[in-house]
């Protein structure tokens, strides 16, 4: 019978690697707490309409990449979340978080997302995103805070050579003024653009600027910039964001082609990049989405957020040769010289674990030499050896593996002795 293998575009995160994930997640929680963000956990699947309305029907995500199924008991169609901003907005509205006296509302999330796309380095069909969303303030200082928060997190992870690519995609009114000029330009090169771009010209022409096709990039490099059509208010907002980032010493460049791949963005759009990782140089993306809460049934409440993939972050750390300081090994391995010592060792094992000390013992009836090798493979800091004499005396021989130093102590003092080190 053929073996069942893992689905394409997914991965098993095994012991030895999962500790890096745990470290990143713990550091993210610790970092976001410093900025007064609190964790939210939303369902891994939502009604498909949420993403059609929230992400945008002309986006690659909705058009090509969603995993959707029809509920067998109703006509509802459900979709595994391809991103989490729409889900967080839905929760924000449904749970009336806008009514909390603690405003603005600051939330972060950690969890799996799902997109049906071609798997490659740093891009899988099931991937894990860490993201944050802020609701209730249009202050450009919040834009700068959100960018700085994730930028500082990457710095804490040890990454070098980071920069922020920054743009303003304006308001709907700004984009309406820009649209006719952009259409005139795009229609002159329509026949030479890729099939996707040709279909987007009439539906959402700004998305043509987000095309990754090199020929399309070259054809549209002189397209009219949206920055030239910003209202006075939008331009002032963008200028203020740049001033705040400059004040914080956050390096950025203005990229007037940066529109991001989602329809809900307004005003600030940004990406954080690191040139060293080449084809997957974008580590993080985000921006402001002032109309999204109203689009999904809430009051007209401003919002801004970002998300980054843990897989891509790990790839960046590997490229820069950064080793995360994850803890490995156990505190103590109980070594049995006789089968009679097993009951005593099993009780001691429980005492150690209840005291918060990581401990293990042999369950394969191996010889003492093999048990010591097992302790070494587990990087045990100590071994506690129990033989006939120790069993009779109520003692153990505690050995510090790094130094080889050993001493006999009462079994009842084992927890204290390990804690003392």
Q: Please state the rounded mean pLDDT for residues 294-307.
A: 92
Pair 314, 338 in one domain: no
Domain count, the chain: 2
pLDDT tens-digit readout, 48-76:
999 888 787 666 677 778 888 987 777 78
Predicted pLDDT at 355: 96
Asked, for residue 29, whether it belongs to a domain, the answer is yes
Pair 297, 337 in one domain: no
Pair 338, 313 in one domain: no
- From 268, 296, 319, give the residue that closes a domain: 319
In the predicted structure, residue 277 carries a pLDDT above the cut 80:
no
pTM of the complete model = 0.89
Report the CATH number at residue 343.
3.40.50.800
Pair 295, 345 in one domain: no
* Predicted confidence band of residue 276 (pLDDT cuts 50, 70, 90): low
Q: Please state the rounded mean pLDDT for residues 67-91.
A: 89
Asked, for residue 219, whether it belongs to a domain, the answer is no
- From 319, 342, 367, give the residue that closes a domain: 319
Report the CATH number at residue 247.
3.30.930.10
User: Which of 73-82, 216-225, 254-263, 316-325 is predicted most confidently?
Assistant: 316-325
Predicted pLDDT at 280: 44
Asked, for residue 281, whether it belongs to a domain, the answer is yes
183 compared with 47, residue with greater pLDDT: 47
Asked, for residue 296, whether it belongs to a domain, the answer is yes
In the predicted structure, residue 135 carries a pLDDT above the cut 60:
yes
Q: Contact 66/22 with Cβ under 8 angstroms? A: no
Pair 289, 415 in one domain: no
The mean pLDDT value of the chain amounts to 91
Pair 345, 315 in one domain: no
Asked, for residue 7, whether it belongs to a domain, the answer is no
Predicted pLDDT at 261: 60
Contacts 24+ apart (CB under 8 A), 285-290: 285/260, 286/131, 286/146, 286/147, 286/150, 287/169, 287/260, 288/143, 289/85, 289/264, 289/265, 290/138, 290/171, 290/266
Pair 299, 237 in one domain: yes
Q: Please state the rounded mean pLDDT for residues 280-294.
A: 88
Range of the domain at 348: 332-419
Predicted pLDDT at 242: 98
Rounded CA-CA distance 188/135 in Å is 40
């Amino acid at each position: 019978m053929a073996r069942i293998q893992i689905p394409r575009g997914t991965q098993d995160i095994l012991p030895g690697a999962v500790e890096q994930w745990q470290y990143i997640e713990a550091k993210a929680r610790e970092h976001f707490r410093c900025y007064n963000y609190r964790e939210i956990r939303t369902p891994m699947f939502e009604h498909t309409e949420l993403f059609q309305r929230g992400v945008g029907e002309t986006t690659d995500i909705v058009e090509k990449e969603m995993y959707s199924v029809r509920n067998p008991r109703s006509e509802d169609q459900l979709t595994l979340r391809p991103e989490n901003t729409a889900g967080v907005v839905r929760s924000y509205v449904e749970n009336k978080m806008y009514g909390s006296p603690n405003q603005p509302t600051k939330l972060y999330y950690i969890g799996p997302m799902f997109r049906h796309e071609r798997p490659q380095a740093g891009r899988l069909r099931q991937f894990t995103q860490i993201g944050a969303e802020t609701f209730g303030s249009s202050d450009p200082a919040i834009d700068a805070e959100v960018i700085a928060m994730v930028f500082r997190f990457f710095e804490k992870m040890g990454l070098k050579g980071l920069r922020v690519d920054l743009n303003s995609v304006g308001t709907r009114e700004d984009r309406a003024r820009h649209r006719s000029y952009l259409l005139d330009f795009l229609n002159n090169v329509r026949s030479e653009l890729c099939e996707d771009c040709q279909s987007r010209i009439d539906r959402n022409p700004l998305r043509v600027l987000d095309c990754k096709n090199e020929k399309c990039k070259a054809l549209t490099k002189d397209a009219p910039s949206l920055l030239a059509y910003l209202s006075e208010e939008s331009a002032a907002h963008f200028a203020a964001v740049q001033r705040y980032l400059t004040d914080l010493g956050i390096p950025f460049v203005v990229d007037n082609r940066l529109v991001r791949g989602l329809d809900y963005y307004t005003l600030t759009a940004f990406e954080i990049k690191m040139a060293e990782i080449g084809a997957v140089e974008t580590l993080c993306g985000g921006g402001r989405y002032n109309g999204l809460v109203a689009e999904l049934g809430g009051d007209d409440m401003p919002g801004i957020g970002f998300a980054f993939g843990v897989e891509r972050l790990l790839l960046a750390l590997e490229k820069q040769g950064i080793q995360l300081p994850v803890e490995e090994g156990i505190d103590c391995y109980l070594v049995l010289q006789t089968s009679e010592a097993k009951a005593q060792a099993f009780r001691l094992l429980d005492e150690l674990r209840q005291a918060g000390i990581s401990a293990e013992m042999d369950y394969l009836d191996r010889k003492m030499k093999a048990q010591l090798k097992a302790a070494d493979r587990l990087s045990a800091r100590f071994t506690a050896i129990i033989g006939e004499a120790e069993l009779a005396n109520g003692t153990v021989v505690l050995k510090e593996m790094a130094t080889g130093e050993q001493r006999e102590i009462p079994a009842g003092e084992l927890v204290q002795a390990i804690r003392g080190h």
